[in-house]
Structure 1
């Protein structure tokens, strides 16, 4: 049996206060947490944990708290900050994906000369690769390449010229 609370309220009245607080403040607190963590299931967990912490720390004696809503709001904000810190830490330790993984049979299927050209193309900048692939693999005109990449024809011409120069230098050094 529960002992009566010091405020003179019965345990049933205190439980009703907690239930009423939960029903009236849960949704606004979930909205607050959602704005902070940008993930509904996590926001709901944060709010549920705040109510559980309130229950653990103060039981059903809400009269002892000056402002239970402020206590919950502070708990939600602190828990959301913790979630964001954990996310940031986890992202910092995720290894980078390798940019290119050759297939298992690439060495067999492509002759050594072709492999040298492919390796040299990998040394180009992304725009240079795009221009050369669109020009020589897809057989697009300068105007079509310019439209596809959203650049001028002059940019296509100069990029292709520089890319071919880099390729020539790369292939000279490998031979």
Structure 2
């Protein structure tokens, strides 16, 4: 958990319906985007959905102790990244060796172009931190500061990691031609 999202002692009289309403609103507004983020990180839809559900359940369970509720989305985003890392670590075989981009339906499978499949496969061959930096910055459209906060690193680390990731991605795609 981020230092900015440190938990305080539960406030006296904090209503469960306050937590329920606040977390439900946050879920409605951001669950789809966070599921897509997790999907890119873990490689399968079921695990991605579980990761996001667990992150929101954790937020709900700790809602009364959240100090800065304006940063609840940052907390959930970090939780999704951490839980995605754990899910990948727990697998017997890493998905990077056999990753196939997610397909939601037969129709969407037909629409996914070969170039996109190559790029997604190359992204999944990147080291975890580089993959996270690229996904947060360009897919999640986060600023460098927001990505740094979600990853638990400095802004400079996000900049250098993103630069190295783009260079490595370019080399992989060039070699695939």
> Larger Cα Rg: Structure 1 or Structure 2?
1
Higher RCO (C-alpha under 8 Å, 6+ residues apart): 2
Question: TM-score scaled by structure 1?
Answer: 0.42
State the TM-score, normalized to the length of structure 2. 0.41
